[in-house]
Chain A
Amino acid sequence: MQFMLLFSRQGKLRLQKWYVPLSDKEKKKITRELVQTVLARKPKMCSFLEWRDLKIVYKRYASLYFCCAIEDQDNELITLEIIHRYVELLDKYFGSVCELDIIFNFEKAYFILDEFLLGGEVQETSKKNVLKAIEQADLLQEVSKHTETPRSVLEEIGLT
């Protein structure tokens, strides 16, 4: 897989993961072009399309589009199920996930993705194993949070 993009029906990018080195300018250009192309497609159309020399596999879940770019010899259907498994993972973690979960907990969305896919390849397909890894990390986070000095409420407000 070369990259994965999540964007909303309004065309707002919610998550981007690039597995090939590209310049920021190029990334922006690709994103703009793809968001436009995919949003223009009608609901019953097929989930695959050729784009440049890549194959795009996308699927819409509620208000979010999940869009992957794979290479010529890669398998479209299994990529579609990569998307689905990722959605299942998010769903299980957040408890019926919605767009706002991904906006406000973007770091979790990235961590889960890193456990599932690495370097553009599937690393671990077992739902249990992926979530176990994330829960362990959360546990560590709790521990270190308790050792931090508490912040004064006033300071918090002053920062906004």
Chain B
Amino acid sequence: MCVADTARDVSGNAHCKSKEAEIKRINKELANIRSKFKGDKALDGYSKKKYVCKLLFIFLLGHDIDFGHMEAVNLLSSNRYTEKQIGYLFISVLVNSNSELIRLINNAIKNDLASRNPTFMGLALHCIANVGSREMAEAFAGEIPKILVAGDTMDSVKQSAALCLLRLYRTSPDLVPMGDWTSRVVHLLNDQHLGVVTAATSLITTLAQKNPEEFKTSVSLAVSRLSRIVTSASTDLQDYTYYFVPAPWLSVKLLRLLQCYPPPDPAVRGRLTECLETILNKAQEPPKSKKVQHSNAKNAVLFEAISLIIHHDSEPNLLVRACNQLGQFLQHRETNLRYLALESMCTLASSEFSHEAVKTHIETVINALKTERDVSVRQRAVDLLYAMCDRSNAQQIVAEMLNYLETADYSIREEIVLKVAILAEKYAVDYTWYVDTILNLIRIAGDYVSEEVWYRVIQIVINRDDVQGYAAKTVFEALQAPACHENLVKVGGYILGEFGNLIAGDPRSSPLIQFNLLHSKFHLCSVPTRALLLSTYIKFVNLFPEIKTTIQDVLRSDSQLKNADVELQQRAVEYLRLSTIASTDILATVLEEMPPFPERESSILAKLKKKKGPSTVTDLEETKKERSADMNGGTEPAPVNASAVSTPSPSADLLGLGTGPPPNAAPAPASSGSLLVDVFSEPASAVTQLAPGSQENFASPDLASSELVSEEPSEAARGADELTHKFVCKNNGVLFENQLLQIGLKSEFRQNLGRMFIFYGNKTSTQFLTFTPTLICSDELQSNLNLQTKPVDPTVDGGAQVQQVVNIECISDFTEAPVLNIQFRYGGTFQNVSVKLPITLNKFFQPTEMASQDFFQRWKQLSNPQQEVQNIFKAKHPMDPEITKAKIIGFGSALLEEVDPNPANFVGAGIIHTRTAQIGCLLRLEPNLQAQMYRLTLRTSKETVSQRLCELLSEQF
């Protein structure tokens, strides 16, 4: 056999003594083959095949191959079967999808598909299914359905055609048009040939997920097919019976297909229930064979049936039977079954019908946690405990998890820590238990306690005054330990800084003792923790005036004032100065207790979701969707940021930083620990830094953690329209943020012109390559809005930020928003982000002040029905008149006071500037507090303008 020979030729090197010798020999061989291919003498088919085969072999040994594709294409165009076969194999294994060759390959495939020779057709279909590129989908997606449903197609070709189409649909769903063929494909479920049914079921399942309506007739067909299989005697299906189990692969696939649909109509449903019961009954029968293949195949069908039962979640009887079955498996001697039972029970725990039944297995699961030798099984046990936890068993489960944590594998510690933290918070009746649990977490696994966890405990303590005294006492005691984790010092520093006064009455924890205790840890800590402690000290100055001089002495010492770290030095200098010059009143205001944090989804939960989140293997597009879906669902729509509303003028600094928010509001907007802060903030004044946790302490480039303290990033990845709405009344902020990239905006508008600064921040430590932002405007938008910009540097270094300026001119009024598309390469993968740029018509407003008389005169002039647009809508936010005023000003019009006879109403006036026209606009907003409704009326000289402005402004209240 030629292939074996050539392989042996090359593989002398497989036995080579050293790696170097092997590489040397391979390189020699590659040079030889290259010269043969390039040589003057044309190679005959046989030699070509031989060398292509050698290349394949070398590739499979793990070496890179970058030539030979052309020769392989020649081979697959050959009429000789052996050459064709090797040509196809080479292309299937080594194709590079960008290659020009695809066109040549497609040509050869086309010929083979048309050849009516089933073997050649098979090879061609296999090749399409293996490569599955978009070019192939373009060429064959129309052709293959025809082959699939043609009456005279051989069974084996039908099977290949079905799966080939499936692969093309996965890569390019848009190129596979649904049509008449779909109903004929559904009927393949009735085919005599079980191989055809197997292949067709896979195809139908995938298609039905995206086109359920088109394939819904498959449900009854699948049920009857399944019913015939599960009731057949084990010999009926001949070669499709696998170790006494009738057609296990097909059964699993049919059950999977049924999971694309809700429970069927009663008639079909009865039959399906019978099938499922039969499968459950069979599990109780004695095995027909001792072979593991028998039990695996049987249980594969059983687990899939249980998945379907859980998916339908409608038959309490079946759910409980499923739960009992899984309960048996929990103690099975096969590790694989124990693993799967734990996994399946996790989903069962979320059904209201079976939650209680699952809980009865708690002791077994806890035991698994203690005795299983395989970490992946223990991991499943942790997951199941987490899933079955509720108020009734939370204390027990949390205690067991903490126990396990002491000896848990390093690989899963962080996840357990997150889970414990979440359960403790979720089911805490008594918050002292919560505080104890978290401090225990830090004690047992301090290194695995991420920032999110200790931020969260602080948030909760600050928000709940019933636990503050206990927390202060507990951290004080925990800090007595000679060696305590740095995370404990952070929590301790923060909590004592806020609530140390609550325990200062006890002489054992007097102010001086508290201070000395914290300061004894100071020199052991990292810079961020020291910075936090310095803030605690200045908070102490306010809480405990009696130790002010002690603290000042510490701040004044050379190790602080001349510290090499700029941040520490600055804090020491500023705090020392503050403590010296500020009056007690000012100190009390500046260093006041932190205001409660806004309630929102726990940042720990977000972190857990992220940990479990998608990775690089899945399709990028999918990943992106999932990620943004996660964020949309994950965070509550944050209330409109007060500072953002109150400073809507175009000159306001981004994030309200430059204007210096009032001291007691310091933590909220100032501490968005994100890249943008570095650029826009002037060195923050001492005032904005004073809360122990603000700025640097909380600052981290990580999204989840910055979310804890800042409004902006959490809002970033919202639906595009919502995003545009967010920017209607303000000009600056974070437009988009994901794990890799942050996009910030700063813009200003004057008459019909505007300028927008777009800041792209690379949040990773890796370079972005071929970074290309593009502005996309539809033709219509282009004629109304003129955007000009220069390309940016295609390389963005890790941690760096680049800026792009867009000059904007409004030519005529417009409705759409331009789209900003960003493409770049990050670590080998291609990234693509599209967001709408919030350039809206109201940006070109100039406010006009006028008296009541003038207003109503003009109002009457604009009484033509086309000029008025009115909208009545429900309030989406609390109806606060001050916020409403701020929004109207932010919208761009003047707010006219004492114009409307009803003081509760708001009226505004302004002119929209475009190059071609100036359009006068009047607006009136009438709130109705009882009904929680608004009526908004817009009158302008142009219908489209009234319409658009009304749409934009309606979304704001």
Chain A residues with a Cβ under 8 A of chain B: 2, 12-16, 19-26, 30, 42, 44-50, 52-54, 69, 73, 75-78, 80-82, 84-85, 103-107, 110-111, 114, 118-129, 133, 136-137, 140-141, 143-145, 147-149, 151, 156, 159-160
Contacts and interface: CB of A to CB of B under 8 A. Distances in A.
Most buried by A among B56, B299, B617: B617
B877 to A, nearest CB: 37
B1 to A, nearest CB: 8
Contacts of A49: 376
Contacts of B259: 73
B300 A75 contact: yes
Contacts of B83: 144
A121 B202 contact: yes
B336 A46 contact: yes
Contacts of A69: 617
B374 A45 contact: yes
A156 to B, nearest CB: 8
Contacts, number: 215
Contacts of A48: 336, 339-340, 376
B293 A81 contact: yes
A48 B80 CA distance: 43
B588 interface: no
A125 B340 contact: no
B945 interface: no
B884 interface: no
B164 A151 contact: no
A30 B171 CA distance: 21
B57 interface: yes
A50 B199 contact: no
Contacts of A160: 9, 12
Contacts of B379: 50
Contacts of B300: 75-78, 80-81
Given A121-B166, A133-B122, A77 B199 contact: no
B481 interface: no
Contact of A52 (B126, B194, B202, B615): B615
A5 to B, nearest CB: 12
A76 B159 contact: no
A45 B376 contact: yes
A45 B373 contact: yes
Contacts of B614: 53
A12 to B, nearest CB: 8
Given A107-B3, A159-B50, 11 more contacts: A13-B60, A20-B619, A21-B171, A46-B339, A106-B3, A106-B56, A107-B86, A114-B130, A119-B129, A122-B198, A148-B45
A20 B133 CA distance: 10
Contacts of B612: 53
A24 B64 CA distance: 9
Contact of A126 (B86, B240, B293): B240
5 interchain residue pairs of minimum CB distance: A119-B167, A77-B300, A52-B615, A78-B300, A118-B163
B296 A140 contact: no
A53 B617 contact: yes
A129 B163 contact: no
A44 B293 CA distance: 17
B119 interface: yes
Contact of A2 (B4, B299, B617): B617
A81 B248 contact: yes
Contacts of B7: 103-106
Which of A2, A53, A123 has the largest count of B CB atoms less than 10 A from its CB? A123
Contact of B85 (A45, A77, A141): A141
B371 to A, nearest CB: 13
Nearest to B171: A21
A29 to B, nearest CB: 9
Contacts of B202: 121-122
Name the residue among B64, B171, B199 with the largest chain A CB count within 10 angstroms. B199
Contacts of B56: 106-107
A21 B239 contact: no
A54 B617 contact: yes
Contacts of A20: 617, 619
Counting chain B residues whose Cβ lies within 8 A of the other chain, the interface size class is 35 or more
B11 interface: yes
B199 to A, nearest CB: 5
Interface string B602-621: 00000000001111111100
Nearest to B14: A103
Contacts of B2: 145
Interface of B: 1-5, 7-9, 11-12, 14, 44-46, 50, 53, 56-57, 60, 62, 64, 80-83, 85-86, 89, 92-93, 97, 119, 122, 125-126, 129-130, 132-133, 156, 159-160, 163-164, 166-167, 170-171, 194-195, 198-199, 202, 239-240, 242, 247-250, 252-253, 256, 259, 293, 296-297, 299-300, 303-304, 307, 335-336, 338-340, 373-374, 376-377, 379, 612-619, 828-829
Which of A44, A54, A78 counts the most B-chain CB atoms under 10 A from its CB? Answer: A78
Nearest to B199: A123
B81 A121 contact: no
Contacts of B613: 53
A81 B46 contact: no
Contacts of B11: 103-104
A39 to B, nearest CB: 15
Given A52-B615, A76-B340, A144-B81, A19 B194 contact: no
12 contacts: A45-B376, A46-B336, A48-B339, A48-B376, A52-B615, A77-B299, A104-B3, A123-B160, A123-B195, A125-B240, A125-B249, A141-B85
A63 to B, nearest CB: 14
Contacts of A123: 159-160, 163, 195, 198-199
Nearest to A52: B615
B339 A128 contact: no
Contacts of A54: 617
A95 to B, nearest CB: 15
Nearest to A3: B617
A126 B618 contact: no
A120 B156 CA distance: 17
Contacts of B160: 118, 123
B198 A46 contact: no
A120 B253 CA distance: 13
B376 to A, nearest CB: 5
Contacts of A44: 335, 373-374
A80 B253 CA distance: 15
Contact of B159 (A19, A23, A124, A156): A124
Contacts of B163: 118-119, 121, 123
Nearest to A105: B4
B132 A137 contact: no
Contacts of B57: 106
A11 B619 CA distance: 28
A145 to B, nearest CB: 7
A117 to B, nearest CB: 9
A139 B253 CA distance: 33
B132 A119 contact: yes
Nearest to A118: B163
B767 to A, nearest CB: 16
A22 B130 CA distance: 12
A118 B129 contact: yes
B144 to A, nearest CB: 12
Given A21-B133, A123-B199, A85 B617 contact: no
B159 A52 contact: no
A133 to B, nearest CB: 6
Contacts of A78: 248-249, 252, 296-297, 300, 304
Contact of A30 (B86, B250, B617): B617
A54 B83 CA distance: 37
Nearest to A155: B47
Contacts of B198: 122-125
Contacts of A105: 1, 3-4, 7
A76 B343 CA distance: 11
A134 to B, nearest CB: 11
Nearest to B32: A159
